[in-house]
Chain A
Amino acid sequence: MNKKNQTTITDDELDTLLQQTSFAQVPDRFEQHVMMKIDALPETHSSQPTWWQWLALVGGGIPALMQIAGLVFSAWNIANAG
């Protein structure tokens, strides 16, 4: 914001300004009405993961589990020493 357009307002001036302004009345139970409208909106539920998500999980899961076990037991991976 340009500093030229900035003015400082005192507390008294602010009080006067607020008294002269007419705010709209908040309707009764406004918040409840808003929440009811939100609840009434159509929801898109994805009830179950799709088959390919399960497939990807299982397909990637087997080598992944081996990798994890490989990390945990890395000191136990045995090589031959003749």
Chain B
Amino acid sequence: MYQIKPRHPLMAALMSTILPGFGQLYNGTVNRGLLVFMAFTLVVIPLVLWVALYLPTQLTLPLLILTIIINVCIWLYGIIDAWKTAKKSSHYTPKNWQIPGVYLMVFLAAMLFFIPGISQFIRSNQVESFYIPSASMQPTLLKGDVLFANKSYNCPNCLKDVKRGDIAIFVYPNNRTQNFIKRIIALPGDRVSIREQQIFVNGKSLKSGDTQQRDNMNIINEKTDNAQYQVQWSADDKAAVEEFVVPNGEAFVLGDNRSNSNDSRFFGTVPLRDVVGKASQIWWSRYEGEFRWKRFGLVLK
């Protein structure tokens, strides 16, 4: 006696929907299933690596959108292929390994280990998105901005080191479950002081150009060897910091909204090992129901 078990197109398509390549496994076309799965999972990593490390920041958003389109196409191909193959397999004789236990094992291995592992790898080492809930980095970052951060930053094999002027994401020293975003002002060994709304690093003021007035705020241009940006102070802010030397392995960070920022003036310098990413590009900006279209795709400096 031999057993014929027709392949059900709907079952094959659904299996491919929940896990690319799974429907092909059900249809007995194992090699094609593996190819679909590998393409789906691995196409993301090389592309994201490429985006994060080797291409100009301006291309981050378009190329990340491209990776999504490629991914969705591979996913849809897997579903359609599984459906079509199953439709042709009305007299299918299952192979001896095609039993529910094997399907379950493959599914669990992919879902519990492989896919979460890759997701976590991308978020920890390549690119992660951050929402800005406060005004502490105004005028550079506004409340409601969502940005990409390059996570391939400040690690032994990373191409990008921490530089003065970088907008860095770091673990908040007073609550290690939170991330903070501030600008790197000074690095280990630098002498830092603040007086008359000016930052001095190694005796040199960061201020460049004239001060502008806007809504009772002083808008000041600052320049480091790496970046040029604007900061704002309340017109009446007279806060000062006596000169001190940044300890080894630490960085001094400030928010661009100098009169309204919880930064190194309050919680002290930040260990460099806690700096986990560099803000690179805004991809979404919405506050109080209003889209700020001009900020979409804005590259951060």
**Complex Cα gap A82–B136 (Å):** 8
Interface size of A by CB at 8 A reads: 32
Q: B3, B127, B134, B148: which contacts A82 (Cβ < 8 A)?
A: B134
**How many residues belonging to B are interface residues under a CB distance threshold of 8 Å?**
52
Query: When the two chains form their complex, are residues A48 and B8 in contact, meaning their CB atoms are under 8 A apart?
Result: yes
Instruction: Indicate if the CB atoms of A68 and B2 lie closer than 8 Å.
Output: no
A61 touches B14 (CB 8 A): yes
**A-chain residues with CB within 8 Å of residue B18 when the two chains form the complex:** 57, 60-61, 64-65, 68
Q: Is A53 an interface residue (CB 8 A)?
A: yes
Known: A57-B11, A82-B181. A77 touches B1 (CB 8 A): no
CB <8 Å contact, A77 and B131: no
Contact (Cβ within 8 A) A75 B131: no
Residue B131 contacts which of A70, A72, A78 (CB distance < 8 angstroms)? A78
Q: Is A46 an interface residue (CB 8 A)?
A: yes
Contact B11–A71 (Cβ < 8 Å): no
A2 interfacial by beta-carbon distance below 8 Å: no
Q: Are the C-beta atoms of B14 and A57 separated by less than 8 Å?
A: yes
Q: Which residues of the other chain, A, contact B119 by a CB distance below 8 angstroms?
A: 67, 70-71, 74
* Distance in angstroms between the alpha carbons of A49 and B3 in the assembled complex: 15
Indicate if A28 sits at the interface (CB-CB under 8 A).
no
Considering only residues 1-49 of chain B, those with a C-beta below 8 Å from chain A are: 1-6, 8, 11, 14-15, 17-20, 41, 44, 48
Q: Is B89 in the interface zone, CB < 8 Å from A? A: no
Contact B17 A71 (CB under 8 A): no
A45 contacts B by Cβ under 8 Å: yes
Cβ–Cβ contact A77 & B5, under 8 A: no
Q: Mark B233-275, 1 if CB is under 8 A from A, else 0.
A: 0000000000000000000000000000010000000000000
Give 8 pairs: A residue, B residue, CB < 8 Å, sorted on A.
A45-B6, A53-B11, A60-B107, A64-B107, A74-B122, A74-B127, A77-B129, A82-B178
User: Nearest 4 pairs between A and B by C-beta?
Assistant: A81-B181, A64-B18, A81-B130, A75-B127
